[in-house]
Structure formats: C-alpha cells, structure tokens
Structure 1
Amino acid sequence: MTDHLSRQPFINLLKNIIANQSKNKNGYSIAIDGDWGSGKTWILNMLESQLPSDEYLIFHYNAWENDFYEEPLVALLSVMIEKLNEITKQKSLYESVVTELLKEASSDLEILAIGIAKYFIKIDIDRSIKSKRKLLNRIKQGTKIADDIDSMLPLRKTLAEIRDVIKNLSKNFKILLVVDELDRCLPEYAIKVLERLHHVCNGMPVFQIIAIDKSNLADSICKVFGKNFSNPSPQHNIMQFTDSYLQKFIDISVPLSNGKPDKSLEVMNGLEKEFCEWTRDNSAGAPINFNENFLEEFLAEMFSGIDRRLQEKVFSQVELCHKMTLATGVKPELCSYAILIYEIISCIASYVFHSKNLCTVKNDSNGTFTLVFKDVEFSSNPYADKYKQLAENLKDFFCLNKTYYTSLYIKSDVFFIRDEKSYLMKLLADEENIYNDYGQKTYFNFIAEAKVFLAKYDEIMHTMLF
C-alpha cells in the first residue's frame, strides 16, 4: 500500500509505544484520535503488516462491521475464533506446540460461542462455527455449557473463560487487540463495545489500539448518559465529560492529523488520464507549463490537511461531471491539466461549500485585477466550517507568491500572462466583470472555447448537487 499521506513516522511512533508497553502484564490501551476519513484504518492495516507475525497475535475487531451482533462480546469471540483458525492453518510459521495451543484456544472459544449463542438468540451462529465443521459434533457439549451459563450469569462466566484463554496465549505471544470504526456505530452500541473491552482486557496482558473520532464519539457518550450541555461553553463541557469517561478505557490518546499529501497523481485514481499536459509561452517568452509536476504541486497544496475520503469524493464527482459534460457534445479544444484544475476548484465550491464559486476576479478602479475569495462561513452547507482549511489552501495556492495581473493595453491587444496561476485566474474570472477592458476582452476570446465548456461543466455540477 502506497503511503500517500506520509504516515510512516506516525506508524513508527505506534510501534515504539507498543514495543515499550506490550510487556505490561496489566495491559495498555491507546486511542488514535482522528477525523472520519483521515486514514485511521489504513494506518492500522499498515501497522499490523509491519509487526512480526511470529511475535504478535493480532485480533482486528471492526466494531461497525460486527454491530449486527446484539452482544459485542459475541462479535469479539467470532473475530478471535476466525483469527486463531486462520493462523493455525499456517503450520510452517509455528512450532507444533504453539499450533496445539492455538487449536486449543480456538476450540475453547468456539464452545463458549455456542454457549453464549443460546443465551443471545439473535446472533448468527453460523458465523462462529463455519470454519470448524467438526464442531457440529460437539453441539451436545456446547448445550451443556450453555445450561451452565444460564445458571451462572452468562456474561460473567464467558468473560472469565475468555480471560483464561488470553492468559494461555500470552505465554507464547504478545497479544494486540485492534478496534476500528467504533465511531461509526450507534451511540449505545459504541458504549457497550468499550465496556465489554474493558471487562475482557482490564488487568490482562493485552495491548489495545482503539481508533476513534473523539469529537464524534463525544456526542454519543453524552447522549447515552443523558448529558445535555448548553451554556455557557457547551463544547468545552462535552469534551471535558468525554475525556473523563474515556480515561476508564484509554491510557493515552494520540492525535492524528489529516496529513499532507505526497506529490503524486495516484491519489486521483486515474482521473488525470482523461487530461493532458499543455505548454505555451507568456508575453515575455517564458514557458508556462501545465505539466505533471504542476498538477502534483497543486494537489499537494490544495489537499494539505484534508482527509483522504473527501479527496476521493471530490475526484469521483469531478470525473462523473466531466464525462457528462463531454456527453453533451460541448468540448474544449484541448482537455488540459488547466481545465482539470478548474474542475476540481469548481467541485470544491459546489460539493463542499454549496456555492457557485469560491472566488471571482475583481476589476479595481486603478486597472488591477485581483482574486476575491468568498467567506465560507456563510455557506449553506452545515459542514462547511469543518473544511475551511480547503478555502485557506485555495487562497494560499493563488496568493502565496502574490500572483496578480494588470490590465495593461499593448499593441497586440493580448493580455499579459505571468505564470500558470495567472492563467488559472483567467478561467476563474467572470467575463462580465471586465467587459469595459478591451485587452481583457481580447484575451477572453482566446480562451472562449474552454470557457464555454467550463460553463457547461458548472451547470451540470450545480444541477447534480442542487
């Protein structure tokens, strides 16, 4: 898997924490706290692949994928059984005594699964036993255990048995329990998962990594416990209560930023193949290159600090709208990277901020044209505030080098183009704003075909979204 967001240093940090704390006989728990879509699942998968399999026994528990189990403990049993059966088959990786240990642990857990299934009628028993057909012959034994559980508080009995299995496994392995997608579960279920994990792992030689979006999980926690924070500082009170509650389950919380994209086109998943490079000279004869390097630079700057899932959604929306525009028969002379960049900016304005445009070109009285940015705080999208970083990135991209252009009349009536950014500003500009400038008008005639195509693109984008 390609590390597009430069996550390896963060993974190394996690490995160092695990190496230092995995020997803790009382267990240890850390939370990876990042926004939804920031790449927590990718990090967990990469981390698991980099830990030595002959040293670590890793159980990956996706809370959201398993939330159809009414009782989270059954889901955890199912995950453990599947993992043990999977690695037992890889006999070449383990000594025979370790293989027997894994088989025994899996067998014990399967019997527990049957027993607790009798108590929680709604679970899918097939999921727990499908990998072990011989287990069908032991239904009678499982039923006997179920009867015992019925009379001895089912959860407490099962928890004790699971803890015994973990103790046995920890003699040969470092136990790592990875919990993902917790913040996508319903509030009550998410809390139940945390409670069950605490019952299973508290005081046990288990290292837990729990991926959360604390701001999202905070609402769930407050709702479950009937906390209604209003004035004077509701957000502060909510997070304070959440932090206090999570201390019961988590030793440390490691914040995860949305990352900085690498300078690569792979993030576009092939979208760039619909477009091509384009080069021309400015009025001074200097080259203006809309090439692969410029496109990579644009993507890295524009999506710095923006979660990967939003990036993928934007590119998917752009691809669909671009193809629909071409299907109307309106086509530019050349589908260059300049047009692709415009389409991305237009999609950000429409899809993220619910605005027809984030920026326009203003003709000042002194003949200078500058880029004017719309304040996204007034966006009709209730989630726009979360992505204000996108608008800031857009400003930085165009204004970092103080890119601007002036209305300077020359004999050729062709407007000066200083660089790639000033050319893009032409595409973003509204021709009506410069109707009184002959030099500008002439230049707009030069890019008229591209402007017609992009106007149709905007029309289709707005129709799809609004």
Structure 2
Amino acid sequence: MIRIDYLSRQPFINLLKNIIANESKNKNGFSIAIDGDWGSGKTWILDMLESQLPSDEYLIFHYNAWENDFYEEPLVALLSVMLESLRQIKKVKEIGGKANVVSSSILTLSKIVGVLTEKKLGVNLSDTFDAIKNTNAALHDAALTDDDFNTLLPLSNALKQVRKVLSELNPDFKILLVVDELDRCLPEYAIKVLERLHHVCNKMPVFQIIAIDKSNLADSICKVFGKNFSNPSPQHNTMQFADSYLQKFIDISVPLSNGKPNKSLEVMNGLEKGFCEWTRKDVPVAPINFDENFLEEFLAEMFNGIDRRLQEKIFSQVDLCHKMTLATGEKSECCSYAVLIYEIVSCIASYVFHSKNLCTVKNDSNGTFTLVFKDVDFSANPYADKYKQLAENLKDFFCLNKTYYTSLYIKSDVFFIRDEKSYLMKLLADEENIYNDYGQKTYFNFIAEDKAFLSEYDKIMHTMLFNS
C-alpha cells in the first residue's frame, strides 16, 4: 500500500536513518526516543522508516507495547514479537546462509516463551515442544535441551538466554528494536516495559527506537515512583524527574513537531470530491475564484502544526454533517470550496472548541482586519489553550491589511470584499455590510445563497455534538 507523506516527514525519517547508520554497529547498542504529541504521526514515521531500511541488512522487531499489554510480563510479549519476525524472515528464500541461525533462534525463543507461559498460566506446552523438536531435530542439539527448562524458571535466566540469541543473530544482521505506543500503556506497565528493554538490550548490539510522548510518560513515571510535583520548585518538577529516570534507557531524544501539511488535497482523504471550484460569471470587477490552489493553501496554513489524527477527525465530521445536510433536501446554489472552507472552520469551532459561536472580524488598531474565533479570543474557553495553534492559524491566514482597502472614496477602517479571503471572512463572520454598492451587494447575495445551506449544516453539527 502506498503511504502518502501528508506532513513532509521524509527529512525526519532521513535523520533517523543517518543516526541508525552511524550507531547500528555499536557493540554496546544505542537507543533514541522519538518524542512527539499523541497523534503527531510517530507510528506512521516508524512504519515508513522500517519500509525504507534494507531487509537483507536489518533484522527489525516491531513491538507495540499497548497492543501487547494484556501480557502481564512484557518479556513474553517482546519474545512473541521477535518470534513472529524471525518466522517471517525464515520464509524468505534469499536469506541463504542465515537460515540456520534464524531457525536456531526460533527454537530457543519458542522454548523460553513456552516455559515462561507454562509457569505463569499452568499450561502444558510439552506437545508444542515435541512438535518443534520433531520438525527440526538437527537443530535441537545446538539450542536448548530439556534439562535447560529448569534453569529458565528465574526471569534472570530467561533474560540471559534472550541476550545470547541476540548475540548469535548479530553477526548476520543489524538488529533494530522498535517500540511504539508506550505512552498509551498503564503507568506501571510502561515502566515495566522500559525496565525489561534495559535488561534485554543493555550493552548489547541492538539499536532501539522508542516512540513516546514525554510529557505523558513523565506523569506516569512520577506516579509510579510516588513523586508529587503539584507545587514544583525551579529545581524539582515532573519533567526533570522523568528526564533523570529516562537517561537510564535513552541515549538521545529527538523531538517531533506536529508537522506542516503538504499543499495537496490528498490530506482530505477524498472529502473535497463532493465540492467544486467557485466561479460566477456575473461577478463584477476583481473576480473571485476559489480554486484548488486556494484550497490547498488554506489547508496547509490552517493545519500547520496540528496533529494528523485531529485533522482526520475534523474531515470525517465535516463529511458526515455535509452528507446529512444534503439528505434534508437543502441545496446550495454551488457546493464550492468556499462552502467547504466554511464547513471546516465551523467544525473546528464546534468539534474542537465546543462552541456554537463561529467567528468575528476584528478591526485592529494596528492596521489590520483579522478573523478570529469568538469564544477563543474573547472568553475563558477551556479548550482554547490546548488547541491554541488552530486559533492562531486561523488568525494568521485571515489577516488583511487595511491599506489594501483604502481609496479616495473608502475609509481605511471599512471592510470591503475584494478577494477570496475577504469574501470568506464575511461568509464566516455573519456581520452587517458597512459599505454598500452594486458590487458588494452582489457578493452578499452569493453569501446569502450559501448561508441558507450552511445554517442547516450548523444546526446538524450542533445537534450531533451538543445534544448527544
């Protein structure tokens, strides 16, 4: 499946590949953390990174800690992931001379998992072990014997055997251990995973990449160790304590921003296909045209620094409400990109900021007209701080210089529709027209046509989000 780089992440992936190339031969191992907010695309980056590394050179174990947290002992989950990866590699004919060490490692890890599981769950796995021995008796002597089972009971002995397997694999492969979704685990489990990784990989030729949201993980670390920094001092706070603890496991931490969307309509997952370019033959001088280029510019600026998961939720909500509005029989004269932009901004107001109010045009004393969310700039909205970037993006995109509107006949503080942005500001703000002439009245007639449809859209949006 083709993966689209919506957030221009390839330079970050290249950085990771360079670090791996420089440190993967380190006999004592190396570990890095990708530190990014929830939804910033860490999993996507890891998947892309793995797909771009040569499979004949790297042995990659991808361990999703959250998906495997039903194992009480993280080591069992980690070994299960390693086993699955090795079994997949064994199916590849091109591994040639590496087949023996892969098969031997599978047998050894299978026994370790079996013993750990049997002792914990009381399951008799002797039949499974017999099947393994029968299918590969020649390798059995080179791996563990039945007598070794008794020595595996202590967890420390199991860890020694795993480390031995990694040492045997290392001459044939560069070993990469990828750990994802750690910050979604329960605090105690997340800490246990970190400890097990340290026990397995410490001073071993293994390159680790751990995806985390450090701020989230910091809270978990402090909670587990009973540290309360409700009134932090400059010398003691949650993040400092977490950083000190994480130094044990992580050599370097690489911050990941929420990214900047490409100027492409593909970020909308097909939502734009229900809309069209805005063109009117009866528009007066200085025609306005909402085309794909303008829509791409809006999307790139509006969602700059906004995590991909939130973008997808917004587009999904818009798509659903738009279809439900069409189902009422209400029709827009032209379901243009101008209508789509209104629907996106309206969804952000309702879905993100939990506000039924939309926007207002702010007449600034610094010589600009600015479009802002009503409940974000001018009230104590509890979501305003968390999603401040969205509000700032809207304000930055819709900021017009008053001198652009100045002429012999028009005062500089009079808002006048002359281009796409000024048209949208009037569509989104729903304010009185101050300056009247034939051209402006024509624009407002177009806005009124769209408003009939969009008022029904807003009603459905509010019903879904505020009356459920």
Alignment TM class, shorter chain as reference: 0.7 to 0.9
Q: How does 1:59-458 map to 2 (within 5 A)?
A: 59-91=61-93, 93-95=94-96, 97-121=97-121, 134-135=131-132, 145-150=148-153, 153=154, 155-233=155-233, 237-280=237-280, 285-361=285-361, 371-374=371-374, 376=376, 382-399=382-399, 417-431=417-431, 433-434=432-433, 443-458=443-458
Give 2:230's aligned amino acid: S
Residue 344 of structure 2 aligns with an amino acid whose one-letter code is I
Letter in 2 for 1:2: I
Instruction: Quickly say closer, same or farther: Cα 1:408–1:270, change in 2 above 3 A.
Output: farther
- The CA deviation at 1:119 is 2.1
Contact 1:116–1:146 (CA under 8 A) maintained in structure 2: no
Displacement of 1:183 in angstroms is: 0.7
Q: Map 1:24-39 to 2 at 5 A.
A: 24-39=26-41
Give the TM-score of the pair, scaled to structure 1.
0.88
Residues in 1 aligned to 2:330 and 2:378: alpha-carbon distance in whole angstroms = 33
SS at match of 1:66: coil
Change (3 A) 1:363 1:75: closer
Post-superposition CA distance 1:46-100 (Å, at most 9, x none): 1111111111111000111111111100000100000001011101x212x3111
Instruction: Give the residue type in structure 2 aligned to 1:149.
Output: L
- What is the CA distance between 1:370 and its match in structure 2? 6.0
Greater mean deviation of Cα atoms: 420-429 or 277-286: 277-286
CA distance in 2, matches of 1:219, 1:124: 40
Number of aligned positions between the proteins: 447
Q: Alpha-carbon deviations, 1:130-151, whole Å to 9, x = none?
A: xx9933969xx9986544433x
8 Å Cα contact 2:31-2:251 kept in structure 1: yes
Matched position secondary structure for 1:421: helix
**Counterparts of 1:318 and 1:348, CA distance in 2:** 9
1:325, distance to aligned residue in structure 2 (A): 1.1
Q: Could you tell me how far apart the structure 1 residues matched to 2:122 and 2:280 are?
A: 67
Q: What is the CA–CA distance in structure 2 between the aligned matches of 1:258 and 1:299, rounded to whole Å?
A: 14
- Deviation for aligned residue 1:236: 6.7
Change (3 A) 1:232 1:200: closer
Q: 1:372 to 1:84 in 2, by over 3 A?
A: closer
Give TM-score, length-normalised by structure 2.
Answer: 0.87
Q: 1:213 to 1:200 in 2, by over 3 A?
A: same
Distance change (3 Å), C-alpha of 1:66 and 1:312? same
Check the 8 A contact 1:29/1:207 in 2, yes or no.
yes
Q: Find the aligned partners of 1:465 and 1:354 in 2 and give their Cα distance.
A: 8
Structure-1 separation of matches of 2:42 and 2:27: 27
Q: Structure 1 residue 6 and structure 2 residue 3: aligned?
A: no
Structure 2 counterpart SS, 1:29: strand
Partner SS for 1:289 = coil
After superposition, the C-alpha distances for 1:193-220 in whole angstroms (9 at most, x for unaligned) are: 0000000000100000000000111111
Q: Secondary structure at the match of 1:229?
A: coil
SS in 1 for 2:339: helix
Asked if structure 2 preserves the Cα contact closer than 8 Å seen for 1:332 and 1:450, the reply is yes
Asked if structure 1 preserves the Cα contact closer than 8 Å seen for 2:347 and 2:461, the reply is yes
CA–CA distance in structure 1, aligned partners of residues 101 and 133 of structure 2: 21
> How far 1:426 moved relative to its partner?
1.8
CA distance in 1, matches of 2:150, 2:382: 53
Is 1:41 the counterpart of 2:38? The answer is no
CA distance in 1, matches of 2:91, 2:301: 47
Q: Which amino acid is 1:455 matched to? A: S
Q: Distance in 2 between matches of 1:271 and 1:133?
A: 55
Say if 2:61 is the partner of 1:55.
no
Secondary structure of the equivalent of 2:288? strand
SS in 2 for 1:326: helix
Segments of structure 2 that go 5 or more residues without pairing to the other structure are 136-143
Deviation, structure 1 residue 280: 3.5
Distance 1:38 1:394, change over 3 A: same
How many angstroms apart in 2 are the aligned matches of 1:267 and 1:3?
A: 9
How many Å apart are 1:356 and its aligned residue?
2.1
Percent identity of equivalent pairs: 76
SS of residue in 1 equivalent to 2:237: helix
Question: Cα RMSD (Å) of the superposition?
Answer: 3.2
